[in-house]
Amino acid sequence: MDVSIIGASGYSGAELIRILLHHPHVRIQRVFANSSAGKRVDEVYGQFRGQTDLVYERYSAEHVPDSDLIFVALPSGEAMHVVPGLLKLKKRVIDLGGDFRLKDIHAYQKYYKREHVSAEVVECAAYGLPEWNQPEIRKAQLVANPGCYATSAILPLIPVVKEGIVEEHGIVISSLSGVSGAGRSASIDYSFTEVNESVRAYKVAEHQHTPEIESGISGHAGRTVQVTFVPHLIPITRGIYSSIYARLKRTIDQDELASLYGKYYSGSPFVRFDPSRIPEIKNANYTNFCDIGFRIDEANKTLILLSVIDNLVKGAAGQAVQNMNIMLGFRETEGLL
């Protein structure tokens, strides 16, 4: 099947190209990037030399590719101007940005600090968390790919909130991210030179993934969840490490927790959980896995959850391909293992 990518010169777009070039059932038909139009992909990203002769094109609504599925890897705020036109042309779309993740338009405008001009499209978007929303993803015309921080927090939290193991309020999430999460055109504040030899929190108590995390957990747990979320930049290129703290409602041991995660994720090929190991970023990078670990602080009646993902793979392009596989009827793991 043919796929195209709009916004293909950014980090997530390049990661999509890397994965899709090795997908056995998909051909990349066209790649669009206005800032790099006319350049070969392997000119912008030398890693693709000898793998593709694709050339970036300038995108316009008059030149929509005749593809089976289109990935939109534009910065948040741009997809809302592009996606409605694609849907009118009956295209199946996966949006890697944040424009269609939140059903609450007021929350979107508060946290993303811009007006949403395609509110009517939001209702038809399926939230693309494959481990929990596969039926909706399979039949959707538009899939909103989850945010990277949100993925790292929602996957470990849903089981314990859903089963009433932890309190729904007072959950604290501290996440550490590599600088690639800020995107290829990020400001000087998010450059590696500024981040190196340092660690700093940013968008404290106002990050746009906060309502996404809350709604993603609440929808499946059947109860309203509130979290305190603090992201940090650390001097690595890729990877997210989330440490999550939640108050226990009742006594539980490691074996029961392991059984609980087995109940919900034993059939999920990209969730790995091990009660005996503390996850590490290096073991998840360049993969589509989310690694989950946990410890119980009995003295303080607190459950500590630890999760790691690659922000560009499971947090972006890999999860998007996972969603594509579901939408197009391929094996969920195709091209990702």
Average pLDDT, the chain: 95
What would the CATH number be for the domain defined by 148-311? 3.30.360.10
pTM of the predicted model as reported, rounded to 2 decimal places: 0.95
Whether 54 contacts 41, CB under 8 Å: yes
What is the C-alpha separation between 80 and 41, in angstroms, rounded?
25
pLDDT reading at 135 higher than 60: yes
Nearest in space to 281 (alpha carbons), one of 177, 150, 128: 177
Whether 98 contacts 208, CB under 8 Å: yes
pLDDT reading at 163 higher than 90: yes
Distance between start and end Cα atoms, the chain: 19
Identify the weakest region by mean pLDDT among 75-79, 124-128, 180-184, 257-261.
Answer: 180-184
- Active-site residues: which are they? 148
Collapsed DSSP state (helix, strand, coil) of residue 57? strand
Tens of pLDDT, residue by residue over 224-267, are 999 999 999 999 999 999 999 999 999 999 999 999 999 999 99
Collapsed DSSP state (helix, strand, coil) of residue 2? strand
CATH topology of domain 2-146+315-328: Rossmann fold (3.40.50)
Domain boundaries of the chain, sorted by first residue: 2-146+315-328, 148-311
pLDDT reading at 167 higher than 70: yes
Farthest-apart Cα atoms in the chain, separation? 63
Whether 29 contacts 2, CB under 8 Å: yes
Cβ neighbors of 223 (< 8 A, separation 6 or more) are 161, 168
Mean pLDDT score, 268-274: 96
* Whole-number pLDDT of residue 182: 65
- pLDDT band of residue 161 (cuts 50, 70, 90) is very high
Element (H, E) at 319: helix 318-328
Between residues 159 and 184, which one has the greater pLDDT?
159
